[in-house]
């Protein structure tokens, strides 16, 4: 489990089924395992009120999708990417009432972006069930050009927008759903530490 | 009271019997200038000299927070209480001077909410009057659901309907009416926060229903003041002050400690805020915990007590005061 290093870094838990009138569930391929684990302890009728948004990304393993579908959720959506699923999540949140509970499982990028949408809809982050699974790759915002670079696995990393070499900090913004990246050679341009795999 | 808790001298400007059991008191500053600002849900502690006894009771502020020329409170007469409300009802007249604390808010509006659902029972309406004024002033969506025994007991029902129109929903207990939680709770938009103030049974019902309906605890707020119970007199040893204090049957431990001239911190005087939490150095007997602040484990440990509402039965109680 990811360890919090500074206060702004999110702390994730283990998905726990909650009382609720509706359960909105968002997961990627790795997060699907967390959903299946939760299903093992969920009360009868839980998935009758569930809406699952599944974005496996990798197309290799169909078993997870089949097992999720077998939960017989009231609604099940499988899509090619998180970007394709987010408008559907936005619509579900727009129609949701109090009593709706949100469950997010997968990479930090997925959890962060879905949570950002939920925060905008009025849900407090502390009431969202989250479980990190899979890659620790980071979604990074460059403090200089404000561009977002997805799936950063190295330290330092190159901003996909302005090309600066960034030190990827542990400082995280829920509002932006990204970690902070700062120019690593601002004082001595060109003096850059060797690139290391830091967030596999 | 000590210098740590500055008092405000106020003139009792008006006393109105709004129901057979409830009087409204209007306080204006004795010295020129405005009273301190406050936000909806705040309370003050009113200090009363009742013979040789100093009484201090907490009351919610009802007046619009934007008006600092006066404060108003409502007091329900409690025949079985320790006497504070009876003193206010029987002895306080316009023109008198009283002292109050600065306002403190332990039941604030959560401004991140997209809508506010206010549920009041009986005298629990009082904090919501200021809250509703504040929310209306800010054009923030809210609904107020007010349950009472009968119209005769419904202080402010008419005022509320006049002022806030369809945002106010009234429930007459004598007609078998009650807030329809089973319909009300599921229809609220995401981001709604719920606030309940009233009798303990009502608070438990509302919070229990909301949790069962899937409302996160973060969206639920309640104010649960309890007056200290009366009981058998007992003695308390205050170790640091090196005095033994007698607690009378109609007196709280906190009041007895204050009467002895020992400074003890306090804020809500109702067992909710935690300010008066005190270390128990020795307990030969039974602590009668009545607060909502300490956990069951802490209560059972006999190492902590909330003197504002809890009592003691036994041979010897020593506090770290």
pLDDT for the residue numbered B39: 95
**Cα dist from B172 to B62, B121, B150, B165, B287, whole Å:** 22, 11, 5, 17, 39
pLDDT band at B2 (very low <50, low <70, confident <90, very high): very low
pLDDT at A99 over 90: yes
Q: How many contacts, defined by CB atoms under 8 Å, are there between A and B?
A: 57
Stretch B101-118: mean pLDDT? 94
Please name the residue of chain B whose CA is at the shortest distance from the CA of residue A125.
B218
Percent residues over pLDDT 90 in chain A: 90
- Across B274-283, average pLDDT: 92
From chain A, the residues in CB contact with B207 under 8 A are none
**How much is the ipTM here?**
0.87
Name the average pLDDT for chain B: 91
Chain CA centroid to CA B264, Å = 19
* Distance (Å) from the alpha carbon of A125 to chain B's nearest alpha carbon: 10
B175 touches chain A (CB under 8 A): no
Contacts of B186 in chain A (CB under 8 A): 21, 97-99
- Residue B115: closest C-alpha in chain A: A122
Within 8 A of A101 by CB-CB distance, chain B residues are 214, 216
Phi, psi of B35 (to 5 degrees): -80, 160
Q: Which residues of B touch A89 (CB under 8 A)?
A: none
pLDDT at B117 over 50: yes
Task: Let me know: does B201 contact B223? Beta carbons within 8 Å.
Answer: no
**pLDDT digits 0-9 by tens, A47-85:** 999 999 999 976 657 888 999 999 999 999 999 999 999
pLDDT, one tens digit per residue, over B131-169 is: 999 999 999 999 999 999 998 888 899 999 999 999 999
CB contact under 8 A, B213 and A18: no
- Predicted pLDDT at B84: 86
Residue A107 pLDDT > 80? yes
Average pLDDT over residues B266-293: 88
Residue B53: per-residue pLDDT: 83
Query: A21 contacts in B (CB within 8 Å)?
Result: 186, 213-214
Q: Do A126 and B189 touch (CB under 8 A)?
A: no
Question: Is B190 in contact with A100 (Cβ distance < 8 A)?
Answer: yes
Q: Does A197 touch chain B if contact means CB atoms closer than 8 Å?
A: no
| A123: closest chain B residue by CA | B191
Nearest Cα to Cα of residue A171 among A133, A138, A131, A122: A138
| B238 vs B259: CA distance, rounded Å | 13
Closest among B161, B183, B158, B27 to B99, alpha carbons compared: B27
Interface residue of A94, A98, A120, A125 to substitute, partner B, most B CBs within 10 Å: A98
Model pLDDT, residue B55: 87
* B189–A97 C-beta distance less than 8 A: yes
Helix (H, G, I), strand (E, B) or coil at A155: strand
Q: Are B192 and A98 within 8 A, CB to CB?
A: yes
Residues A109, A152: Cα–Cα separation, whole Å? 10
Shortest distance between the Cα of B211 and any Cα of chain A, in A, equals 7
Q: How many CB atoms lie within 10 A of CB B25?
A: 24
């Amino acid at each position: 489990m990811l360890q919090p290093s500074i206060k702004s870094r999110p702390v994730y838990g283990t998905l726990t089924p909650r009382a609720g009138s509706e359960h909105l569930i968002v997961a990627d391929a790795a997060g699907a395992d967390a959903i299946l684990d939760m299903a093992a302890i969920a009360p009868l009728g839980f998935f009758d009120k569930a809406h699952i948004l599944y974005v496996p990304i990798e197309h290799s393993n169909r078993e997870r999708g089949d097992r999720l579908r077998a939960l017989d959720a009231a609604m099940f959506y499988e899509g090619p990417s998180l970007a394709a699923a987010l408008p559907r999540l936005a619509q579900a949140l727009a129609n949701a009432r109090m009593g709706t509970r949100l469950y997010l499982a997968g990479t930090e990028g997925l959890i962060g972006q879905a949570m950002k949408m939920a925060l905008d809809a009025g849900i407090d982050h502390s009431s969202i069930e989250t479980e990190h699974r899979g890659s620790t790759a980071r979604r990074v915002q460059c403090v200089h050009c404000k561009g977002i670079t997805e799936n950063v696995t190295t330290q330092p990393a190159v901003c996909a927008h302005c090309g600066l070499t960034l030190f990827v900090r542990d400082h995280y913004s829920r509002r932006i759903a990204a970690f902070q990246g700062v120019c690593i050679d601002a004082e001595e341009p060109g003096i850059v530490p060797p690139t290391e795999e830091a967030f596999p | 009271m000590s210098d740590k808790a500055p008092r405000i001298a106020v003139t009792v400007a008006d006393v109105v019997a709004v129901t057979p059991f409830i009087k409204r008191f209007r306080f204006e500053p004795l010295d020129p200038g405005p009273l301190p600002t406050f936000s909806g849900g705040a309370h003050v502690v009113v200090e009363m000299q009742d013979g040789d006894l100093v009484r201090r009771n907490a009351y919610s502020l009802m007046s619009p927070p934007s008006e600092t020329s006066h404060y108003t409170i409502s007091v329900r007469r409690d025949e079985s209480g320790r006497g504070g409300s009876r003193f206010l009802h029987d002895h306080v007249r316009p023109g008198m001077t009283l002292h109050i604390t600065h306002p403190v808010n332990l039941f604030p509006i959560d401004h991140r909410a997209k809508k506010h659902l206010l549920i009041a029972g009986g005298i629990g309406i009082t904090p919501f009057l200021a809250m509703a004024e504040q929310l209306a002033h800010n054009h923030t969506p809210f609904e107020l659901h007010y349950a009472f025994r009968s119209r005769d007991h419904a202080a402010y029902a008419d005022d509320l309907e006049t002022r806030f129109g369809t945002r106010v929903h009234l429930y007459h207990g004598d007609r078998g009416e009650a807030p329809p939680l089973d319909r009300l709770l599921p229809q609220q938009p995401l981001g709604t926060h719920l606030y309940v103030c009233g009798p303990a049974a009502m608070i438990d019902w509302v919070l229990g229903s909301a949790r069962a309906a899937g409302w996160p605890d973060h969206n639920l707020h309640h104010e649960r003041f309890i007056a200290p119970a009366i009981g058998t007199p007992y003695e308390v040893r205050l170790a640091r002050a090196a005095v033994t204090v007698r607690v009378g049957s109609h007196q709280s431990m906190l009041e007895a400690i204050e009467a002895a001239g020992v400074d003890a911190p306090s804020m809500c005087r109702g067992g909710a805020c935690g300010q008066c939490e005190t270390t128990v150095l020795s307990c030969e007997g039974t602590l009668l915990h009545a607060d909502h602040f300490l956990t069951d484990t802490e209560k059972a440990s006999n190492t902590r007590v909330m003197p504002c509402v809890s009592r003691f039965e036994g041979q010897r109680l020593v506090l770290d005061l």
